[in-house]
Amino acid sequence: MNIVAQVQEMARSGRDTIAMCLGEPTQGAPAPVRRRAAEVLTDGTNLGYSAVFGIPELREAIAGHYRDWYGVDIPTERIAITTGSSGAFQTAFLTCFDPGDRVALARPGYGAYKNILAALGCEIVELDCGGDHGFQPTVDLLEQAHAEAPLKGLMLASPANPTGTMITGEHLGELISWCRDHGVQVISDEIYHGISYIGTRGETALSHDDDAIVISSFSKYWAMTGWRLGWAILPEPLIRPAQNVSGNLSLCAPVPAQYAAVAAFTDESYAECETAVESFARARKHVLDATADLGFSDMAPPDGAFYMYARIDEILARADSGIDTAAGWCEALLAATGVALAPGNDFDSVNGSRSVRLSLAVGAEKTAEAIDRILDFMK
């Protein structure tokens, strides 16, 4: 976010910037969502507080989405509309865990998981999920961590941030089966479902275990970042505790956004989203084609989401004297070219200082231009 602030300041001063540092699709919300938002702001719709878990229309639409995409039936009572996926993470963590509980998650991984868990007093167990493990947890890694002291939870993400890797259905089943046998609560971050390049939207954890907690959001596939709307699907025993937690944290998610989001589940909205995914795919190909010239190595397989994560040891080895970290190189790149990448420090406390994440959310055209600028910078 410090880099984002620099990009915004440069843009205000007239610099031409390409912000590949943030997971924010640039196409914006689908047209049906925007039209419905205009209607609810003018037609007298009651925009007071909703129920803690959201308006019935949106919860029903999400249940229909799960039937259509995954073939699973979710009672609307188990669907909680939240203030972005961030609100869902807070609700889930507070509902499931007590201070001192050990929660496992992948490294590299999305920094907010461990930051929220740490703020709640949980013990974070980072699983070293490098290339040897497909950048995802394995049963062996869980066994090792559990042998040191019992785990209480496992945080999964597929497609993952920052790597873009996805867990196969078979692998997901193995992880969830192990957790069920050992009394470990699975929380599955599925906010990038639908953004995939390997012929599958992503497999929901609910296909393997009805007691898994699934978290998703309108921010990524539907490009509704500023609308601050997500959801959690909860097992039956956690419904009442989660209502109590959510009611005290935020009372309810933004109500105008809730009414508008019902229109996200229409053919027109899905078509717009698929067009955006096609642009991300072309952007991905631009980077893959230039990987050798860029000097990236150990790149995580970019199965989905709109991220590519790689080591830059070769780049740092030939960089100007004094630049020996990804953060320093990204700062120099931004100053010289206006291209903003995210150094890996937020995602990996061990190897992140020599890694970068590129966000393809800017689309194919901007990605191609950014690559040209980076290559010129490296000459």
Residue 321 pLDDT: 67
Question: Rounded to an integer, what distance in angstroms lies between the CA atom of residue 167 and that of residue 169?
Answer: 7
pLDDT digits (tens, 9 = 90+) for 231-270: 999 999 999 999 999 999 999 999 999 999 999 999 999 9
The alpha carbon of residue 110 and the mean position of all alpha carbons in its chain are separated, in whole angstroms, by 7
Residue 318 pLDDT: 84
Cβ–Cβ < 8 Å for 118, 92: no
Both structure tokens of 6: 């620099």
Q: Side-chain half-sphere of 169: how many Cα atoms within 13 Å?
A: 11
Cβ–Cβ < 8 Å for 258, 50: yes
Residue with tokens 């689309």: 363
Between strands 153-157 and 185-189, the pairing is parallel
Residue 255 pLDDT: 97
Phi, psi for residue 99 in degrees, rounded to 5: -55, 135
The gap between the terminal CA atoms of the chain, to the nearest Å, is 28
If the chain, 379 residues long, is cut into consecutive pieces of 10 residues, what is the mean pLDDT of each piece?
84 91 92 97 90 98 98 97 96 97 97 95 96 91 98 98 95 97 98 95 95 98 97 97 95 96 98 96 95 91 94 87 88 94 93 94 95 93
Strand partners, 310: 356
Burial of 14 (0-12, 13-18, 19+ CB in 10 A): exposed
Phi, psi for residue 79 in degrees, rounded to 5: -100, 120
Question: Among residues 259, 261, 251, which one has the least CA distance to residue 45?
Answer: 259
pLDDT digits (tens, 9 = 90+) for 115-165: 999 999 999 999 999 888 889 999 999 999 999 999 999 999 999 999 999
Question: Rounded to an integer, what distance in angstroms lies between the CA atom of residue 105 and that of residue 186?
Answer: 10
Give all strands of the β-sheet with 185-189 in edge-to-edge order: 79-82, 230-233, 213-217, 185-189, 153-157, 102-107, 123-128
Q: Residues 6 or more apart from 361 whose CB is under 8 A from it?
A: 20, 22, 23, 24, 25, 26, 280, 306
Question: Rounded to an integer, what distance in angstroms lies between the CA atom of residue 238 and that of residue 159?
Answer: 25
Ordered structural domains, the chain, with CATH = 2-23+269-378 (3.90.1150.10), 49-265 (3.40.640.10)
What angle (nearest 5°) sits at the alpha carbon of residue 169, between those of residues 164 and 174? 105
Helix (H, G, I), strand (E, B) or coil at 180: helix
Residue with tokens 């040209």: 372
